[in-house]
């Protein structure tokens, strides 16, 4: 195959071959290495993303605290199985918080763990619940709030910050599982 035939584009393909300027990329990496993982090709508004991440961090902390309280307060028939579910969810929400905090630091920000502002920054509310059914309902409501807000964040991020978007996609999948678990528990108690 000759060079000229290799350069011809197939029908439906671009005539411009992919060109990677490795020398420029290397020079930029060296010149701006103090910026860590945030390169010139980062397409999002970093301050907006940091706020979204910190608000989601507050949400995950509030969810962790609510699930922990519910774990300790679960009483009544079959409460042991429900309490175990609450404990598992609390641990997973804490993992989400840790992942979000790590990403905030990667982007050059500071994770906001300030207790006095958690309530105002969290998407979900901290509702204690008066009995086991009420606790399950409150957790289901909180999971539904997280699902909708994380979907909106994912849409906003699009291709501008793929890494942060994927983090939210992973968290969203777990939140959907949590909502399903709470719905099943509620159905089992109401049915």
What tens digit of pLDDT does each residue of 71-88 get? 999 998 889 999 999 999
The model's pTM: 0.81
Query: What residue spans define the domains of the chain?
Result: 44-190
What does the pLDDT read at residue 12? 57
Rounded to the nearest 5 degrees, what angle is found at the Cα of 154, between the Cα atoms of 51 and 121? 30
CA pair distance 92, 106, nearest whole angstrom: 21
CB 104 within 8 A of CB 111: yes
The residues of the chain scoring below 70 in pLDDT are: 1-14, 35-36, 39, 189-191
What does the pLDDT read at residue 7? 46
User: Can you say how many angstroms the Cα of residue 190 is from the centroid of all Cα atoms in its chain?
Assistant: 31
CATH T-level assignment (fold) for domain 44-190: Ferritin (1.20.1260)
What does the pLDDT read at residue 14? 58
Using CB atoms within 10 Å of the CB of residue 36, give its burial: 0 to 12 exposed, 13 to 18 middle, 19+ buried: exposed
The answer for 129, left when phi > 0, alpha when psi is -120 to 50, beta otherwise, is left
What does the pLDDT read at residue 96? 99
What does the pLDDT read at residue 78? 82
**What are the C-alpha distances in Å from 140 to residues 73, 169, 185?**
17, 19, 10
């Amino acid at each position: 195959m000759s060079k000229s035939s290799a350069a011809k584009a197939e029908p439906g393909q671009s005539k411009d071959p992919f060109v990677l300027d490795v020398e420029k990329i290397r020079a930029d990496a060296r010149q701006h290495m103090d910026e860590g993982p945030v390169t010139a090709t980062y397409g999002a508004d970093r301050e907006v993303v940091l706020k979204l991440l910190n608000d989601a961090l507050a949400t995950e902390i509030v969810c962790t605290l609510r699930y922990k309280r519910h774990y300790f307060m679960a009483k009544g028939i079959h409460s042991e199985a429900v309490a175990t579910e609450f404990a598992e969810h609390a641990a997973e929400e804490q993992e989400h918080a840790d992942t979000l905090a790590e990403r905030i630091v990667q982007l050059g920000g500071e994770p906001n763990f300030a207790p006095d502002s958690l309530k105002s920054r969290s998407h979900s509310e901290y509702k204690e619940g008066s009995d086991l059914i009420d606790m399950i309902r409150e957790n289901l409501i909180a999971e539904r709030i997280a699902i909708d807000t994380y979907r909106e964040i994912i849409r906003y991020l699009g291709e501008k910050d793929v890494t942060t978007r994927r983090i939210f996609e992973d968290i969203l999948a777990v939140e959907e599982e949590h909502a399903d678990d709470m719905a099943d528990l509620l159905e089992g108690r109401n049915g």
